[in-house]
Amino acid sequence: MVSMEVKNLTKNYGKEKAVSGISFKLNAGEITVLAGPNGAGKTTTIKCILSLLRKNEGEVFICGKSIKDKNIREKLAYMPETPDIYPYLTVWEHLKFIALAYKLGSWEEKAEEMLKLFGIWDKKNQISKNLSKGMKQKVSICMGLLHNPDIFLIDEPFVGLDPKGIKDFKDILKLLRDDGKTILISTHILSSVDKLNDRIIIMKKGKIIADGSKQELQDAIGAEEQMSLEDIFLKISE
């Protein structure tokens, strides 16, 4: 089932087209990787979807309804590459803030469970400015998960995480996918998502140059042997 549809999305910075009329669909119960080198337009695409940047053209639909509908936005969670957290709030206060924003009831047990899963339960009363980058990333992930959204837009999720944090987050993403959630991961570190995707969208210079499963993209370039996602990307984008 299509959970998100992006139609003719365009974003210009002056005369430069950062995103050039792209269209794609995301399906429930799938992890889609938005791949491309730095400057390909991946982060701009995500920010335009979320209206964090004003697009020049295009429409975004969530379950057939315009994303302009305020109630629809509650179905989304955004996890940026640089954790967007407040320096003088504690870890626990960040989760309380999310609970209040989404009017969540009985959220404390889930919040405790997530903090323990990511190994930062003992940091719950620390203010964020004293946390390492990896710990801030973990707080950001917990904030995104707390209100149980249907669609996750995640930008470079593994930057700053330690090996255990990476494994734990990958396991969570798999569980979310199995629960029917929609996940879009933007990254240029393809080795981190080689076995974690159902589909890959490859961008280059603001345009989509390939879209399909790993096997479909491999077949499209005529590869006879199994290739890594990174090698497939390099072959397509050369």
206-223 per-position pLDDT tens digit: 999 999 999 999 999 988
- Mean of pLDDT over the chain: 91
Report the alpha-carbon distance of residue 145 to residue 141 in Å, rounded. 6
Question: What percent of the chain shows pLDDT beyond 70?
Answer: 100
Which of 2-16, 65-79, 190-204 comes out lowest in average pLDDT? 65-79
| Domain map (residue ranges) of the chain | 2-75+149-237, 84-148
User: Counting beta carbons within 10 angstroms of the beta carbon of residue 195, is it exposed (0 to 12), middle (13 to 18) or buried (19 or more)?
Assistant: exposed
* Average confidence (pLDDT) over 4-26: 95
pLDDT of residue 156: 87
Q: Which CATH superfamily is domain 2-75+149-237 in?
A: P-loop containing nucleotide triphosphate hydrolases (3.40.50.300)
* Average confidence (pLDDT) over 189-204: 91
Q: Report the length, in residues, of the chain.
A: 238
* Average confidence (pLDDT) over 104-112: 94
SS3 30: strand
Predicted confidence (pLDDT) at residue 90 exceeds the cutoff of 90: yes
22-79 per-position pLDDT tens digit: 999 999 999 999 999 888 999 999 999 998 999 999 999 998 899 888 778 788 999 8
Taking the mean position of all CA atoms in its chain, how far away is CA 19?
Answer: 18
Dihedral sign of CA atoms 88, 155, 230, 12 in order: negative
SS3 217: helix
Confidence class of residue 202 from pLDDT cuts 50, 70 and 90? very high
pLDDT of residue 225: 82
Confidence class of residue 158 from pLDDT cuts 50, 70 and 90? confident
* Average confidence (pLDDT) over 181-195: 90
Beta bridge partners of 17: 12
Pick from 215, 220, 214, 204: nearest CA to 37:
204
pLDDT of residue 224: 78
* Average confidence (pLDDT) over 200-209: 95
What is the side-by-side strand order in the sheet with 16-27? 16-27, 2-13, 57-62, 65-66
pLDDT of residue 157: 84
Confidence class of residue 120 from pLDDT cuts 50, 70 and 90? very high
Confidence class of residue 167 from pLDDT cuts 50, 70 and 90? confident
pLDDT of residue 146: 93
Report the alpha-carbon distance of residue 47 to residue 12 in Å, rounded. 13
Predicted confidence (pLDDT) at residue 118 exceeds the cutoff of 90: no
